[in-house]
Amino acid sequence: MVFFYVVISVIVLGILVTIHEFGHFIVAKLSGTKVNEFAIGFGPKIFSKKHGETEYSFRLMLFGGFCALAGEDEMSNDKRAVTNKPWYTRLGIFAAGPLMNILLTFIILIMVFYFVGSPVPIVSSTISGYPAEKAGIKPGDEIVMVNNTKINDWTTLQNIINSNNGVKLNFTIKRGNVTLKKSVIPIVDKNTAKPMIGIVPQYRRSLVLAVDSGVKQTIYFSKMIILSLYMLITGKVSTNDLMGPVGIVQAIGTEAKSGILNLMAFTALISVNLGLFNLLPFPALDGGRILFVLIEKIRGKPVDPEKEGFVHYIGFMLLIALILFATYKDLVRINILK
């Protein structure tokens, strides 16, 4: 079982890291920036091959990777070094990795929604004893308006219900050729702890719906991650909830056992997480490098590359410490350490 978890995790994380680093790589190549090495993983090399001026390597520790650019952390007289490129070129190179992860999330979610279908505001069934059933809402009813808000998609309906616990909502429903009015008061579900009226949506398969659902789910994942980071930084959630490499491997394995579509959806969540985390303005992350580019633009002259490189080195050490801390928490959580 552990072997299965590890193999699946290596494949998933390998894809995410490759896509991320490929973003940096392709923009660097297109802009004429010299790339010294394109690596998947950290640590000792398992395989490497030089093609042209760039070395391509596969390394032992697969929880990461890098695209080594000439002049990235040092002064260079090479006109093709990244440090000698215009600020907007460097901005594009550093932002490309995280943006590729966000794009990958969107693509994966389109595939998931296309295969499972996208929820539409038509009632498939009602839950016995819940407000919708009591109000006389039936399977096949299309919800076209709530109060004064037109309902074009399931997400809009869901958001209205979630934000109106205990408040009477006036539904306009189309049942065949007849338009009906129903009043429903959402209640908090004991299992989900969210306001519900007790309806299950119909699902329809189409590329247009899949794209629309993919966009909305990507935005939802992004908001959820940003909120979680904010709550972690402000101490509103415990560091016990922090997931490290061991926890990620375990979670990927669990999702893989429950089916390929669940694994794909979870991969999308990890991908957007990776993209947004790397955009944080912290040294060693892509967001930290973007911050230095913007500082250069504002002050009108660049920061000494060697000093910037030292700051990123310190940031990298802090990130390693964070990973080790999260790993310790993982091991405690699964009772390997106490």
What does pLDDT average to over the chain?
A: 89
Query: Exposed/middle/buried for 2, CB within 10 Å: 0-12, 13-18, 19+?
Result: exposed
> Mean pLDDT, to the nearest integer, of 181-186?
93
Task: Label residue 288 by pLDDT band (50, 70, 90).
Answer: very high
- What pLDDT score does 338 carry? 53
Say which of 21, 72, 255, 308 is annotated catalytic.
21
Cβ atoms of 222 and 272 closer than 8 Å: yes
> Mean pLDDT, to the nearest integer, of 11-37?
93
**pLDDT(337) > 60:** no
Task: Label residue 336 by pLDDT band (50, 70, 90).
Answer: low
**pLDDT(96) > 90:** yes
> Mean pLDDT, to the nearest integer, of 164-174?
91
**CA 256 to each of CA 8, 35, 223, 263, 274: distance values in angstroms, whole numbers, following the listed order:** 8, 35, 25, 5, 19
Q: 119 versus 41: which is more confidently predicted?
A: 119
**CA 249 to each of CA 13, 82, 216, 315: distance values in angstroms, whole numbers, following the listed order:** 9, 35, 27, 25
**pLDDT(75) > 80:** no
Task: Label residue 90 by pLDDT band (50, 70, 90).
Answer: very high
- What pLDDT score does 215 carry? 93
> Mean pLDDT, to the nearest integer, of 233-242?
73
Q: 273 versus 65: which is more confidently predicted?
A: 273
- What pLDDT score does 55 carry? 95
Give tens-digit pLDDT for 120-164.
999 999 999 999 999 999 999 999 999 989 998 898 999 899 888
- What pLDDT score does 34 carry? 95
Q: 322 versus 35: which is more confidently predicted?
A: 35
Active site residue 53: no
Chain centroid to CA 118: 20
Give CATH 2.30.42.10 domain extents, the chain: 120-203
Q: Which of 58, 29, 30, 33 is nearest to 43 (CA)?
A: 58
Q: Determine whether domain 120-203 maps to CATH 2.30.42.10.
A: yes
- The proportion of the chain whose per-residue pLDDT surpasses 90, expressed as a percent, equals 56
Task: Label residue 25 by pLDDT band (50, 70, 90).
Answer: very high
Task: Label residue 1 by pLDDT band (50, 70, 90).
Answer: low
